[in-house]
Structure 1
Amino acid sequence: MAETQRRGRRIMMTPEEVDAFLTAERTCRVATVSADGAPHVSALWFAWDGTSLWLYSITRSRRWAELRRDPRLAVVVDTGEDYGELRGVELTGTAEFVGEIPRTGAPCRELDVPERLFARKNFGLDEMVHDGRHAWLRLTPEAITSWDFRKLAQP
């Protein structure tokens, strides 16, 4: 269960708003920790199943290597141009590696839902296409922080 947000209650999203936002948005920024302790941030598409964020990552990426060494990560999904339009969600926790590495499409019940969600959202397909270069990471957040600056304009 994710930690409850303590600050910014006026602009935080409700659980239903967080769910709708993560379901609709496509791109996130994933922060990992390098071997020397420096942060590394990269953009990635994702799927949200209502409980976990699913990341389909290239297995030969710096991100993948860093998460293999240290599975802690933070993910930010945000949108908005003007200050009063800014909305976003930060999720933090530990990456879990799910399915074969790299993913070739072998049966894996745990991936049925995220692969269907990801394929529909990002490719308009009913089934996932596997290229043998990517694999799945699951982030079940330990903490979620959200903001919706549009709420500042409300009385």
Structure 2
Amino acid sequence: MDVVENTLPTDLETVLERPLFCFLGTASPEGSPRVSPLWYLWEDECIWIIADTVEKSYTTRVARHPETAVAVVDFDPGSGRVHHVGMRGTATIEPLDDVRAERLLRRYLGPDRSEWDDRFASLDSDRWGLLRFEPATVVARDQSFSPSL
């Protein structure tokens, strides 16, 4: 992973460990760009995303064109914080790893699995997998501003 630029006031890991959305950029079969907002886990220098291999088209796009991009933005208009991490790399669809998937879901749904939305309480490995995005290049920018509101 080549960090081309990093102007963040904190280390890259700190931003990527926040429970934010990532935006997965893929190409359609016709070559048109597509973006999917998704939950993620930053682990082992990769972005991990729970992947619905039955109902969501981004998994098919990744299988056809593994060259992908991911953006993570932490934006707070009240303070003016804008931390942006943009990555280019490759993605693969991996079998579901229940332990990793649980770590990912706890970030967004909390520690008590009995309180989770039913859609996530028990993932069927015939339907669900993990998308593994390995960044080749990273640009991390502090684009914060002085709020006027």
What is the TM-score with the length of structure 2 in the denominator? 0.77
Q: Deviations over 1:16-62 (max 9, x none)?
A: 62101111133111110111111011111101115111011211311
Query: Percent of aligned positions with the same letter in both sequences?
Result: 24
What is the deviation of 1:13? Answer: 2.4
1:79 equivalent in alignment to 2:74 = yes
1:68 equivalent in alignment to 2:67 = no
**Runs of 5+ consecutive residues of structure 2 not aligned to the other structure:** 114-120
| Corresponding pairs, count | 136
Quick one: which of 91, 94, 118 aligns to 2:104?
118
Give the direction of change, closer, same or farther, for the CA distance of 1:126–1:73 in structure 2 (3 Å limit). Answer: farther
Match of 2:135 in 1: 141
What is the TM-score with the length of structure 1 in the denominator? 0.74
Name the aligned partner's letter for residue 70 of structure 1: H
**Runs of 5+ consecutive residues of structure 1 not aligned to the other structure:** none
Name the aligned partner's letter for residue 122 of structure 1: Y
Q: Secondary structure at the match of 2:16?
A: helix
Give the direction of change, closer, same or farther, for the CA distance of 1:138–1:37 in structure 2 (3 Å limit). Answer: same
Using the alignment, how far apart are the partners of 1:134 and 1:25 within structure 2? 21
Task: Let me know the Cα RMSD of the aligned residues.
Answer: 2.6
What is the deviation of 1:148? Answer: 1.1
- Determine which structure has the larger helix proportion and give its number: 1
Runs of 4+ off more than 6 Å? none
Name the aligned partner's letter for residue 55 of structure 1: I
1:119·1:126 contact (CA, 8 Å) conserved in 2? no
Using the alignment, how far apart are the partners of 1:123 and 1:131 within structure 2? 18
